[in-house]
Each structure stands twice: as C-alpha cells, then as structure tokens.
Amino acid sequence: MRTMDGMLGVIGGSGFYSFFDTDARTVAVDTPYGAPSAPITLGTVGEREVAFLPRHGAAHEYSAHTVPYRANMWALRSVGVRRILAPCAVGSLTPKWGPGTVVVPDQLVDRTRGRADTYFESGGVHVEFADPYCPTLRSAVTDQDGVVDGATMVVIQGPRFSTRAESRWFADAGFGLINMTGYPEAVLARELEICYAAVALVTDLDAGIEVGSGVRTVDVFAEFAKNIGPLKALVRNALDAVSDERTCTHCLAHDGVELPFELP
C-alpha cells in the first residue's frame, strides 16, 4: 500500500451505497454530533487506502434535509481522511447537459434552511469559502475522459423538487446544476481542513427546462442505477490520479487562527 498524506475518502450519494468489492472492513465511529449515516467502510482502491461512507445511509434511511452532515464529516476526519471525493445526483438546468453527464462544479449557491452548517458555535472563527472546492481534487476528476469542468450548483432544501418557476429562476441566474446535499457538506469539510470536491452525475433535466415533464424520484434512481458502474470506475480512476502527498494549501482554512477546539 502506498504511503500518503492522510487517507482518501469517498461519500456516496443516492444509489451509491457501497464501493469495495472485497477485503473491506467497517468501523463504527461516534462523534460529538451523534452517529454518522452509516459505519465507515475501509478498503483499498489499487494501492490506495480509502474510507467510504454512504451519505444517505446503507439503505437510504436519510433524506437530504436529515443527513447528519456534521457527524459524517467529523467521523471521516477521525479515521484519518484528509481528502474527499463526493459523488452526488443532480438535476441539469441546461439542455446541453443531459442525463448521464458527469460535471465537476466549481461554485455553489446555498438555498437550504435550518441545517446545522458549522462546527464553530462560539468564538469569532470565520472560514474562507469563496472557492468552495479543492482545485487539486477537482483536477484529478476533470482530467478523466468525458467530464465537464465547471458549473455553479444550487443546493435546495428538499425533499421536494423545484417548481417550474423556481427551476427557470435558477437557470436564469446562471446556475447549471441543482442538488439537495452539496451544502453544508462542502463548508463542513473546509472547517475541518479537508480537501473536498463534488462529482455530480446528471440524472434529469429540471422541471423548468423540459416542458411537459417534471422530476420524479423513480426516474432519478433509475438513471443513477444505469450509470453507477461507470461512475464508480471514474471515481476509482480519479482516486488513483490523486498524488500521494497532499500539496493543496487552498483548503487549509485556519492558518494563524486559534480554534475553540482541536480538530479530530
């Protein structure tokens, strides 16, 4: 097994509930924020040690607005993860990206509400978040064949899908993707100084883009299931492309800042 700076992590989205074929073990991790969505599975991809966590639970027990995001990110860092790829299902807000397209967003817009989205509940700690994703991890994915580089992903509260008016509003604002789980996951990673990049699989055209049809859960899951094999292969190739040494400084948000607690 290759020596590297911190374990790599993968957070699986809707329909992405397992990652390793054999020789994996599970670890139950407790956190100050409760239990994560599921026990963490530790295994290997090639010669890389990787930790896997299904975002929604092993059997999709958690909807987007009930995912224990703080526990998930804390648990992954606790087992040694310092870099995370986060596959997720998204709707497309532009006809040019149809179902099956893989996009690596470079920006997000938060339209959620009421979600616990910080570890800093006291003191004067403010995290830099102008560019929410790790450029080094993004490059490892966008270098793969057929991947679209760059989009703004708007994250909505869920669990309902958007109205046509909302969908057109988001598209008119210049957003390219719509999702329910990308926030607060990304900012919690930044607060824990974990490199993080979303890997977005388009499962549908959003309601305001294709007149006459709306988004249905059954269709989203069917599209994700159809593409899960290629998506897992893409993630494995991207993990293998990540350097052994963590060279990114972009995601080290607390240089020179005294934190109110020690990072796990």
Q: Is 18 annotated as a binding residue?
A: no
Distances (CA, A) of 166 to 98, 159, 163: 19, 15, 5
Inter-CA distances, 6 with 81, 87, 245, Å: 6, 20, 8
Flag whether 181 is marked binding: yes
Question: Which residues are annotated as catalytic?
Answer: 204, 206
> How far out from the chain centre does Cα 1 lie?
25
Does the annotation list 56 as a binding residue? yes
Q: Is 41 flagged in the annotation as binding? A: no
Is 55 known as a binding-site position? yes
**Does the annotation place 14 within a ligand binding site?**
yes
- Which residue positions form the known binding site for phosphate? 14, 55-56, 181
- Which residue positions form the known binding site? 14, 55-56, 180-181, 204-206
- Which residue positions form the known binding site for substrate? 180, 204-206
